Amino acid sequence: MRKILCLLAFYGFAAAQPALQEKFELLESTSIAVRREAVMQIGKMRSPAAMSRLVEVLENDTDFGVRASAAEALGNIRNKASTPALVKALGDENKNVKSSVIIAMGYMRDRTAVDPLLSFLGKEKDTGLRISAINVLGVIGDERALPTFAKLLKDENPRIKTISAQALGRLRKPAAVEPLLESSKDENYNVRLYSIRALGEIGDKSAVKDIGKLLKLEKDDKNKVAIAYTLGMLGSIEGFSVALAAAGSPDMALKKEGLKAIGVIGKVTPEAEEIIIEAWKSSDKGLKRSAEMAASSLKIKLPEPAKKKETKTKENK
C-alpha cells in the first residue's frame, strides 16, 4: 500500500511539473495582470520550486502589486526557508508590499523573524504597518517582544497602545502584569479594556489585589464587567456584584457580558439563577447562548423546552 501511495505521489508531482513550468513562463509576460495571476496560481502549488520562483519575483519584479502577491503566496506556502527573503522585503519601498510581507510572517510564525520585525517596528512611521507588525509579533508569541510592547503602552496613538496590550496578553508572561496594570488606568476606554482582558489571559493570581483596586476606580460599566470577568478568571469572586448587576441590565450587550462574567466567577445565588433562566427564555440567540454557557458553568438546570403539540389527522376511509 505504501509503495502504491509513493508511486501516486511521484506521478502527481511529475504531472504537475509542466503546469508549473507554464506558470513560470507567464511570469515573463509584459502584462502585470498576467503576472499577478501566475503568482497566485504558483502559490497554490506549494512546491520548493514554486517557493524559489516566488522569492525571485518578490525580489525582482518591477510592479509592487506583483511583489505583494508574491509575498502573500509565500505566506500561504508556509515554508520557513523563504523567511530571509521576506525579511529583506520589509525594506521594500512600497507600503502594500511591506503589509503583505508582515502578514506572510504571521502565517509562518517563524521566530527568526522576531528581531527583524522589532527593528522594523522601531523605524517604521506608518501606523497601519506598525499595528500589523505588533499583531504578528503577538501571534508569534516570543517574549523578546515584551519590552517593546510594554514601551508601546505609552505610545501617543491609542490604537498602538490597544494592540500592544492585546499582544502582551498573548505572551502570557507575568513580567507583563505591571505595565498592563498601569495601562488599565489609561484615559482611553479601549486601552483600559484590552489591558484588563490581557491581565486575565496572563492568569497571574498575584495581580488580584491590584485588579480589585481597578474595579473601584473604573467608571465605565462595560469595563467594570471586564474587570469582574478577569477577577473571575483569576479565582476571585470580588466582581460578582458588578457582574450580577450587568446581567440584570436592560442593555443587551452589557447583559451578555454580565452573564459571561457570572459563569466565569462561579458563584451561584438565587438571584443569579433567576436572571440566567430568564435570559435563557429570550428570543435573542446571543443572549440565550450566554445564559446557556453560564448555566453550564454553574451547573444550573434549565427548564425543559416546551414540546410542540402534535396534531393528529384521521385518515379518510
Give the helix, strand, coil percentages of the chain, each rounded to 5: 75, 0, 25
Per-residue pLDDT of the chain in tens (317 residues, 90 and over written 9): 554 444 334 334 444 455 788 889 999 999 999 999 999 999 998 889 999 999 999 999 999 999 999 999 999 999 999 999 999 999 999 999 999 999 999 999 999 999 999 999 999 999 999 999 999 999 999 999 999 999 999 999 999 999 999 999 999 999 999 999 999 999 999 999 999 999 999 999 999 999 999 999 999 999 999 999 999 999 999 999 999 999 999 999 999 999 999 999 999 999 999 999 999 999 999 999 999 999 999 999 999 876 655 555 544 54
CA distance 169 to 39: 36
Q: Domains in the chain, start-ordered, CATH in brackets?
A: 22-108 (1.25.10.10), 110-202 (1.25.10.10), 211-300 (1.25.10.10)
Spatial contact of 216 and 223, defined as CB atoms under 8 Å apart: no
CA distance 203 to 205: 6
What is the number of residues in the chain? 317
Write out 131-170 in H/E/C secondary structure: HHHHHHHHHHCCHHHHHHHHHHCCCCCHHHHHHHHHHHHH
Burial 9-26 (b: 16+ CB within 10 A, else e): eeeeeeeeeeebeebbeb
pTM: 0.83
Q: Integer distance in angstroms from the first to the last C-alpha of the chain?
A: 62
Spatial contact of 69 and 32, defined as CB atoms under 8 Å apart: no
Spatial contact of 208 and 234, defined as CB atoms under 8 Å apart: yes
Measuring CA to CA, which residue among 85, 24, 90, 33 is closest to residue 58? 85
